[in-house]
A and B are shown apart, each in its own frame.
Chain A
Amino acid sequence: MSEALRIENLSKAFESQGVRKQILHKLNLTIEEREFVCVLGPSGCGKSTMLRCVAGFEKYEGVIYCNGKVVNKPSTDRIMVFQDYNQLFPWKTVEANVQYPLKVTGIKDKKELKRISDEYLAKVNLTGYQRYYPHELSGGMKQRVAIAKALALKPGIILMDEPFAALDAITRNKLQRELYQISTDEQLTVIFITHNIQEALTLGTRVLLMSEDGDIVIDRINTLEKPVKPSVKGYGEMWDLFSQGLEGNYPRENRGERRA
């Protein structure tokens, strides 16, 4: 495996009303190709901020390398899937939403665009919805389109910021299963931010926990038997570890180290 992303000494502070708040302080993280990294952490710990830095939406201190290149602005090799399911353009059909980024990156041939959008919409089980407008779809369907749109670009890394957090539990489970299937089929490299331990264990090949201070305090390769269910061996211990961790009780000796 080769390296997809390397974050070195990432620091980020926000200033509001004259008060400076340090969100991230000298964070280090390396992600290999084909890793599906789930990042857990309490609200406000800086996990979304880290993702936004990787996406190139924020200025930061430190260095981020994506496929060897320094990140200084947004690019289609790091595609973001947002939590808000109103991320699709309402003025475009489902199909046009998937095709638009491809057009921007230089694919002009209409047949080719159609072929690609059909292929990826089929992967997210939305064949037949090409002509729909986003307002005619449910939240879960919109997130599927957003995922298809990201996949179609074949980015080096997909950045997902709690994409399923606003969905109901049943839809959420269904989308998790679909995404797991797609990520193994397509060998995706993903950073997936979530609050939900079950989701992290189901999807991730590697699960991280960020503390309130923005440090990575737990970093585990997910060795649970797939597909992950609460009944598989080791699930309970993993769940306990991260559940305790989210409340601030993590094994201190593990700080910053990677345990494989």
Chain B
Amino acid sequence: MRKYRDLIIQVVFVIVCGVCWQLYAKSRNLMGFPSLDVIFNRLVYCFTNERRPILQYLFNSILSILKGLGIGALLALIFSSLSVSSHVFGILYNLVVSVFDLLPGVALLPILMITIGANDTSILVLVIHSVVWPMSRNLIDGFRTTPQIYVESGRNLGLNIAGMVFGIYIPSSFASILSGVKVGWARAWRGLISAEMIFGAAQSAGIGVFINNARTVWIDYPAVYAAIVLVIVVGVIVEYGIFLQIEKATIRKWGMVR
């Protein structure tokens, strides 16, 4: 019952915000503040018209982020496994993570542009950078807090290192891993869009480039808003459509979180 009430409160809030937006936009008629129906129509137009192929841009962004997330997660897994199995590697990697985790990806852009160039590889490096450090933190925390009793149960079965990592450490730290992926994804998504906007013309232009083009080339503010809406929609889909479902199918089902 409470759940429904909460939902109703949230829906009412969104409707009130929408009405306020609409009233303000209609009364002032500013170019930089289009009304909701204009934004919605623009979004439909962008979906269907060749001149604003927003889905193509979005697809490029999603492709970059999937590549980056995949590579970043793999690197984080390798480095984290090494740092729990070797003390020296562990203290060094901990230092590296502390340093780089504090560095915003966008701040690295000038260096990437000079060394790698304004291309997809730079973007990929940036996404990996946004993913690998927060994920490593979570993985290492998860591995370190794996209950001794699971570790000993695993050792009792004579599991080797790979068996221990995949059979014991990873499932036991699944909650931390998932929150690491969430943080990594959020940082990468934001980092990617910022980088695309700064880069302007990357080889395969993403949604950030679309926003920039809409502002500077096409001078089409409703399209800027349409793209922002799309960015938010993707975020919501990933949060509720993917992460929440994974959570329900794993750690919630296993009783590891409430």
Q: Give A contacts to B, CB under 8 Å.
A: 55-57, 73-76, 78-80, 82, 84, 86-87, 89-91, 100-101, 104-105, 133-136
- B138-182: CB near A (< 8 Å → 1, else 0) gives 000000000101101101111100010001100110100000000
Task: Give which listed residue, B152, B157, B172, contacts A101 with CB less than 8 A.
Answer: B157
- The complex places the Cα of A78 from the Cα of B171 at a distance, in Å, of 25
List residues of chain B with CB under 8 Å of any chain A CB. Answer: 147, 149-150, 152-153, 155-159, 163, 167-168, 171-172, 174, 250, 253-256
15 contacts between A and B (CB under 8 A): A57-B152, A73-B158, A74-B152, A75-B156, A76-B156, A76-B158, A87-B149, A87-B153, A89-B153, A90-B255, A91-B171, A91-B172, A91-B256, A104-B167, A135-B255
B248 to chain A, nearest CB (A): 13
Q: Chain A residues near B255: list those with CB within 8 A.
A: 90, 133-136
Q: Name A91's contact: one of B149, B157, B250 (CB within 8 Å).
A: B250
Main secondary structure of the interface of B (DSSP, over half): helix
**A133 and B253 contact, Cβ closer than 8 Å, known pairs A86-B147, A91-B171:** yes
Contacts of B155 in A (CB 8 A): 56-57, 74
Determine the chain A residues whose CB is within 8 A of the CB of B250 once the complex forms.
Answer: 91
Distance to closest chain A CB from B152 (angstroms): 6
- A90/B152 in contact, CB under 8 A: no
Contacts of B172 in A (CB 8 A): 89, 91
CB-based contact B254/A90 at 8 Å = yes
Beta-carbon nearest neighbor of B256 in chain A: A90
| Complex-state Cα separation, A100 to B158, whole angstroms | 12
A82-B256 contact given A76-B158, A104-B157, A104-B159, CB 8 Å threshold: no
- Would you call B157 and A105 a contact (CB within 8 A)? yes
- Residues of B contacting A79 with CB < 8 Å? 156
Partner of B158, one of A75, A91, A134: A75
Contact residues in B for A133 (Cβ distance below 8 Å): 253-255
Chain A nearest CB: distance from B62 CB in Å?
29
In the complex, A75→B152 CA distance in Å?
11
Other-chain residue from B150, B152, B167, B253 in contact with A80 (beta carbon distance below 8 A): B152
Q: A90-B255, A133-B253, A135-B255 are in contact. Are A74 and B171 (CB under 8 A)?
A: no
- In the complex, what residue of chain B is closest to A88 when comparing beta carbons? B153
Residue among B147, B155, B159 having the largest count of chain A Cβ atoms under 10 Å:
B155
Rounded to whole angstroms, the CA-CA distance of A84 and B151 in the bound complex is 13
* Nearest 8 interchain pairs by C-beta: A135-B255, A91-B171, A90-B254, A74-B155, A104-B157, A91-B254, A74-B156, A87-B149
Q: How far is the CA of A134 from the CA of B253 in the complex (A)?
A: 10
Chain A residues in 8 Å Cβ range of B153: 80, 82, 87, 89
Note all chain A residues with C-beta closer than 8 A to B171: 89, 91
Contacts of B167 in A (CB 8 A): 100, 104
Nearest-Cβ distance from residue B170 to partner chain A, whole angstroms = 10
Q: How far in angstroms is the closest Cβ of chain A from B48?
A: 45
Known A-B contacts: A82-B149, A91-B250. Give 8 more (CB < 8 A).
Answer: A74-B158, A75-B158, A80-B156, A82-B153, A89-B168, A90-B255, A91-B172, A104-B163
Bound-complex Cα distance A105 to B172 (A): 21
- Chain A residues whose C-beta falls within 8 Å of the C-beta of B254 in the assembled complex: 90-91, 133, 135
Nearest B residue to A159, CB-CB: B156
A56 to chain B, nearest CB (A): 8
**Cα-based distance from A55 to B154 in the complex (angstroms):** 12
Most buried by B among A84, A101, A105: A101
- A155's nearest neighbour on chain B, judged by CB, is B156
Q: Once the chains are docked, how many angstroms separate the CA of A86 from the CA of B167?
A: 17
